[in-house]
Amino acid sequence: MSAEKNLSVLRHSAAHLVAQAVLEMYPETLLTIGPATQDGFFYDILPQVSLKEEDLEKIEQRMHELADKNFPITHEEISKDIARKIFNDNRFKLQLIDEIPGETVGLSRQGDFYDLCRGGHVDRTGDIRHFKLLGLSGSYWKADKNNQALQRITGTAFFTQEDLDTYVKQKEEAALYDHRRIGKQLNLFSFHEEGPGFPFFHPKGKLIINLLIDYLRQRQTELGYKEIATPIMLSDELWKRSGHYAHYKDNMYFCTIDEREYAIKPMNCPGSFLIFGERPHSYRELPLKLAEFGTVHRHELSGVLHGLMRVRAFTQDDTHIFCTFEQLEEQIIEVINLTHEVYTRFGFKINVGLSTRPANAMGSETAWDQAIDALKKSLVAAGIAYVLQPNEGAFYGPKIEFKIQDSMGREWQCGTIQVDLFQSENFDLTYVSSAGTKERPVIIHRAIYGSLERFFAILIEHFKGQFPFWLSPVQIRILTITDDQKEYALQCIAACQEAGLRVDFDRTSDPISGKIKTAQIEKIPWMVVIGKKEMQHGTVTLRYADGTQEPNISLADLISKAKRLAAQ
Ligand SMILES: [Zn+2]
Ligand SMILES: [Zn+2]
């Protein structure tokens, strides 16, 4: 049994333990399901009276008492008839019994507690020692909001106290640097009841988004990408043709205008295809790299919305590269290198996965093999190690997935490079080859940031709000000791602005210590302090966010130093 499997056995056993404790304390409670999750477990229950956060401590205490009793945990197979009698007062378990295939179901026991379960537990309740209940939230039976509302107790368990402590510390750190909290503190963005899940970017937040776009746009231009823009809203027929209607209808927004049905785009791809297909192409034009910073709308359930991490409208750095099969490898290498360069600039570690042919694949096996081969060769040529993810490709082609690891050790899936073997046929896209024949281009779908909103959220948490100099909305703040230095301060500001630096001036009458405090809260990387002495000598004192100082630098030196840093 692998360590991971072991951990999920332990956590699922901890879910039974929480259920046992809850039933002892609140006997009228109906239990539903209690699986292990990626980093813990949950149990969804229907109590007689809703539980409150403060009840968790008592439940946790009772779990420890049950662990101390060290009951053996046993498992047996029983007939469905017997199971129906045992669970006759629990409509959820009765439904589960009906849904389980076969004539028997599993029953686990510990002390006088029993639960419907297919098995996979630790031997005794005493094996479950290092656990913590993490919270209480709402859920629905079978995760369907039309069903009975339930309460979810979430927790985690580890084999050692040390592992549990580390996990709890990481959780606390993550909560401390939650992008929603920092976003408010730094005045970057907000959400309003008038548009649930639709972010509002404030000037400083929008500035950072623009800097991210500017950076990528400049690199793309250098690599010969052409930027396009396609409509937010397109006719229903288009989405039916692209397959989005069939696969994605439940997440799309629709409207009717002049008795014609339209959908708000959930993806940018079909817009690019219409542009490519609009006129004949020669092989000489390929590769054609059509880039779009395209805003898409996807209807997500309100329960899964999470700050900028999960929103209903977001902008993708989408590119569709139309090329020949022969060009596929070099194009993919170029995209891999660009992706690598972008992530490295932010200091992320990168893990790469290659997803291959799924069961529902479209197109010939030969084409798939060729495409997968090209992806593998490109990864090797770019010197990137990867993990093979068998059968995880999309139905229309294989893909490379980039996962970035942030400063708190968490992994986020962001960029993808996807080879499309289907849509050029579907949209009848062609080019004329050097031999004069009509051929289908291969399409590469590529995104590096993925969703700019989500990438921004990841950056906020990764940098803990302290953005690098080039991304800081305000790079330099001028602070004067008294109002006497105001004229000189204005000269300094003008010189910094002239050099293209983002600078502002604390005009309050606060003492210098207060001005420094404010700049620290706003996480401004450079403070330039000006007093009587600095004014007399025509210099400034540079104070960094970490409190270290460089006194007596000339304005010219300050500016050249800042410009160097801004270019990094
Ligand atoms: Zn179980
Ligand atoms: Zn696409």
User: Helices (DSSP H) in 243-364: which residue ranges?
Assistant: 244-248, 269-277, 328-345
Categorize the per-residue pLDDT at 4 as very low, low, confident or very high, splitting at 50, 70 and 90. Answer: low
CA distance 163 to 160: 5
Pairing of strands 442-451, 313-323: antiparallel
SS3 16: helix
220 token code pair: 């793309």
pLDDT of the residue at 3: 56
SS3 467: coil
Task: Return all residues near 567 (Cβ < 8 A) that are at least 6 apart.
Answer: 470
- Judged against a pLDDT cut of 90, whether residue 220 lies above it is answered with yes
Identity of residue 364: S
Residue 97, beta-bridge partner list = none
Q: How far is the CA of 271 from the centre of ligand 2 (A)?
A: 9
Give the active site residues.
269, 298, 316, 318, 320, 399, 445
Positions of E strands within 467-559: 476-480, 503-505, 526-530, 539-544, 549-554
Q: How far is the CA of 418 from the centre of ligand 2 (A)?
A: 8
Apex 173 CA angle, 171 and 176, nearest 5: 110
CA distance 469 to 504: 14
Task: Return all residues near 143 (Cβ < 8 A) that are at least 6 apart.
Answer: none
DSSP string of 26-87, one letter each residue: STTPEE----B-SSSEEEEEE-SS---TTHHHHHHHHHHHHHHHTPBPEEEEEEHHHHHHHT
pLDDT of the residue at 361: 83
CA distance 477 to 280: 55
DSSP string of 85-122, one letter each residue: HHTTT-HHHHHHHHHSSSSEEEEEEETTEEEE------
Q: DSSP class of residue 24?
A: H
Pairing of strands 549-554, 442-451: unpaired
Identity of residue 159: F
CA distance 150 to 138: 6
- Judged against a pLDDT cut of 70, whether residue 480 lies above it is answered with yes
Categorize the per-residue pLDDT at 396 as very low, low, confident or very high, splitting at 50, 70 and 90. Answer: confident
What pLDDT digit, counting tens, does each position of 132-164 carry? Answer: 999 999 999 998 889 999 999 999 999 999 999
- 118 phi/psi in degrees, rounded to 5: -85, -5
CA distance 455 to 215: 14
Nearest ligand to the CA atom of 120: 1
49 token code pair: 């009276």
- Judged against a pLDDT cut of 70, whether residue 5 lies above it is answered with no
Q: How far is the CA of 290 from the centre of ligand 2 (A)?
A: 10
* Least confident piece of the model among 45-54, 242-251, 410-419: 242-251
47 token code pair: 């109590």
Categorize the per-residue pLDDT at 106 as very low, low, confident or very high, splitting at 50, 70 and 90. Answer: very high
CB 447 within 8 A of CB 418: no
pLDDT of the residue at 246: 85
Q: How far is the CA of 14 from the centre of ligand 1 (A)?
A: 9
Q: In what order do the strands lie in the sheet with 254-257?
A: 233-235, 260-264, 254-257
Nearest ligand to the CA atom of 417: 2
Nearest ligand to the CA atom of 14: 1
Nearest ligand to the CA atom of 114: 1
Q: Across residues 10-31, what is the average pLDDT?
A: 97
CB 387 within 8 A of CB 354: yes
Identity of residue 188: L
What pLDDT digit, counting tens, does each position of 273-319 carry? Answer: 999 999 999 999 999 999 999 999 999 888 788 999 999 999 999 99
Q: How far is the CA of 329 from the centre of ligand 2 (A)?
A: 18
pLDDT of the residue at 60: 97
Q: How far is the CA of 155 from the centre of ligand 1 (A)?
A: 15
CA distance 267 to 283: 27
What pLDDT digit, counting tens, does each position of 182-205 carry? Answer: 999 999 999 999 999 999 999 999
Identity of residue 425: E
- Show the domains of the chain with their CATH numbers: 3-176 (3.30.980.10), 215-230+268-462 (3.30.930.10), 232-265 (no CATH), 469-566 (3.40.50.800)
CA distance 518 to 510: 10
- Judged against a pLDDT cut of 50, whether residue 1 lies above it is answered with no
User: Helices (DSSP H) in 396-451: which residue ranges?
Assistant: 423-426
